[in-house]
Amino acid sequence: MGEWTGEPARPPEAGTALVRRPGPRLADGIVTHIERRPVDTALAARQHEAYVAALREAGWRVREVPPADRCPDAVFVEDALVVAGDTAIMGRSGELRRRAELEGAEQAALDLGLRVSWIKEPGTLDGGDVLQAGDTVYVGRGARTNEEGVCQLAGLLGGRRVVPVATRGTLHLKSAMAALPDGSLIGLPEHLDTAVLPCLRVVPEPSGAHVLPLGADRLLMAASAPRTAELLSADGWRVTVVDISEFEALEGCVTCLSVLVPGVA
């Protein structure tokens, strides 16, 4: 038996989380489906630090992607790449203003030893439209990701089942749907083609669809979804809550701010 040192036990390393700090132009980020409001960039920086601290507390090793300060939305690093196994698939956003964010993200993937593939013209794909749930990968079709992008992604995923999901009135698929570690789906049916989904548990508030699984029983959620957090806690999930209000003002959510690479240090 190891000697107790008086320090709290650290969780085992779950893998690496890629993050990118908010840049000086954050307040100029793109807003599509909500009314624009002022963004407090100093508060956003503190909220991002707390978000990163929550990842570390859950056992994730955090690695920063090089900044892209000329790109207001670069903090939403999830949209730049999708990691599946030992491969990083670089996106090609349907929003032209976001394509410069790939710079630095590719190098971060290579530094982790991942193979890199690309979505190519005329395909478009944002990582926020890609939801991995066990052996199934749900891919949102909307303004940022098109049919050709879905087809290219399917070809790069090595035979995994890919289910396209038409979205409406929402920025990304992950803005309206999440997969829990047991594979169950929760979300907002009014924004999704539910006919292609096996089952969807309806959440009681819009940001309740924003859930980042951090382990077999751990979830990260935004403070703006207290009722959903309470429901999931009652189901036995260990829920950590963070305030990301300044990123939500730009249609961001807890999944957007990182790319989790399990088992890679």
Between CA 164 and CA 166 the distance in angstroms is 7
Residue type, 110: L
How many Å is the Cα radius of gyration of the chain? Answer: 18
Between CA 167 and CA 192 the distance in angstroms is 5
The CA-atom distances, in angstroms, between 148 and each of 42, 92, 126, 143, 158 are 39, 11, 13, 13, 17
DSSP single-letter state for residue 125: B
Residue 71: left (phi > 0), alpha (psi -120 to 50), or beta? Answer: beta
Could you give the residue numbers annotated as active site?
172, 256
Please answer whether residues 141 and 150 qualify as being in contact, where contact means their C-beta atoms are separated by less than 8 angstroms: yes
Please answer whether residues 178 and 206 qualify as being in contact, where contact means their C-beta atoms are separated by less than 8 angstroms: no
Secondary structure class of 228 (helix, strand, coil): helix
* E strands, the chain, in order: 15-19, 60-64, 81-84, 87-90, 115-118, 130-133, 136-141, 161-166, 177-179, 185-187, 201-202, 211-213, 218-222, 238-242, 259-262
Measuring CA to CA, which residue among 28, 110, 177 is closest to residue 102?
110
- Return the bridge partners of 240, or none: 220
Determine the distance from the C-alpha atom of residue 115 to the mean position of all C-alpha atoms in its chain, rounded to a whole number. Answer: 20
